């Protein structure tokens, strides 16, 4: 495979540069070195992503593995495409410009359990307690780059999406919400997570693959049909009934 890849690269050089490689040996050598560097860089990138994905697949609920894999994708500029997609819509671009962050102290998170049971605040707190989770706190920082804000906002509101969409925190629930996020904003980790989990099931439990594909298809369909959840100012939504929010967003 390595020989084939190298042959293709050198063949492309010959076609692109033609006789100049024959006429100028030094120039050709520089280009060969460039190709070798490119091959090495591609190998390192692929290997780094595969190692991160393998660690994530072993324990998808491990926060450190999730965070490390997200950092790998950021390092290789996967989030730049996501930022571009988000900035194409006026609704989501407005959030990017405002850069809000959920401050749980000012929102009085501890009092959410006193809200009516049908409200987002009550359901969100109940969801976190059931899942043994804590809300993530970030300070608002308008100096963040679009990429940095996008990552923080999606990570901080991830569990709110769980409540609104009705997905649990088990493996299939995460597949569903990742499929939804991929359809809505092209969330980079989602495609790797879905692909890695599907491959894992193909190897360990092939009879479950059809169930995974069904969850992926449903999450994608729901994501394409609904208004963008990334555009929602969740800071103002916690006292509203979940059913009302779902209807407004077109969440089916």
Predicted confidence at residue 54, as pLDDT, reads 74
Predicted confidence at residue 61, as pLDDT, reads 62
Q: How far is CA 49 from CA 42, 53, 76, in A?
A: 11, 6, 9
26 pLDDT above the threshold of 70: no
Query: CB neighbours of 169 closer than 8 A, spacing ≥ 6?
Result: 61, 131, 133, 162
Q: CA-to-CA distance for 244 and 50, rounded, in angstroms?
A: 42
Between 23 and 169, residue with greater pLDDT = 169
Q: What is the pLDDT of residues 202-223, one digit of tens each?
A: 989 999 999 999 999 999 999 9
Q: CA-to-CA distance for 203 and 207, rounded, in angstroms?
A: 10
Decide: 178 and 123 in contact? Cβ < 8 Å: no
162 pLDDT above the threshold of 70: yes
Q: What is the pLDDT of residues 31-81, one digit of tens each?
A: 444 545 544 455 677 778 777 777 776 666 666 777 888 888 888 889 999
Share above pLDDT 90 across residues of the chain, in percent, rounded to a whole number: 62
- Indicate the average pLDDT of the chain: 85
Predicted confidence at residue 142, as pLDDT, reads 83
Token pair for 98 = 């405002």
């Amino acid at each position: 495979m390595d020989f084939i890849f190298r042959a293709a690269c050198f063949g492309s050089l010959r076609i692109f540069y033609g006789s100049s490689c024959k006429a100028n040996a030094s120039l050709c050598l520089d280009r060969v070195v460039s190709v070798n560097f490119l091959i090495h860089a591609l190998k390192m990138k692929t290997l780094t992503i595969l190692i991160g994905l393998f660690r994530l697949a072993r324990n998808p609920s491990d926060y450190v593995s999730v965070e490390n894999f997200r950092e790998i994708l950021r390092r290789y500029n996967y989030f730049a495409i996501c930022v571009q997609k988000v900035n194409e819509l006026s609704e989501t671009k407005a959030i990017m410009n405002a850069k809000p962050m959920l401050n749980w102290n000012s929102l009085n998170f501890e009092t959410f359990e006193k809200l009516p049971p049908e409200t987002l605040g009550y359901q969100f707190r109940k969801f976190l307690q059931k899942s043994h989770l804590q809300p993530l706190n970030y300070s608002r920082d308008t100096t963040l780059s679009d990429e940095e804000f996008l990552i923080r906002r999606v990570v901080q509101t991830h569990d709110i999406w769980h409540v609104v969409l009705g997905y649990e925190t088990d493996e299939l629930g995460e597949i569903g919400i990742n499929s939804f996020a991929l359809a809505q904003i092209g969330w980079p980790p989602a495609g790797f997570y879905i692909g890695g989990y599907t491959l894992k099931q193909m190897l360990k439990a092939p009879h479950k693959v059809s169930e995974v594909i069904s969850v992926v298809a449903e999450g994608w369909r729901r994501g394409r049909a609904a208004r963008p959840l990334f555009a929602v100012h969740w800071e103002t939504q916690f006292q509203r009934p979940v059913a009302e929010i779902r209807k407004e967003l077109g969440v089916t």
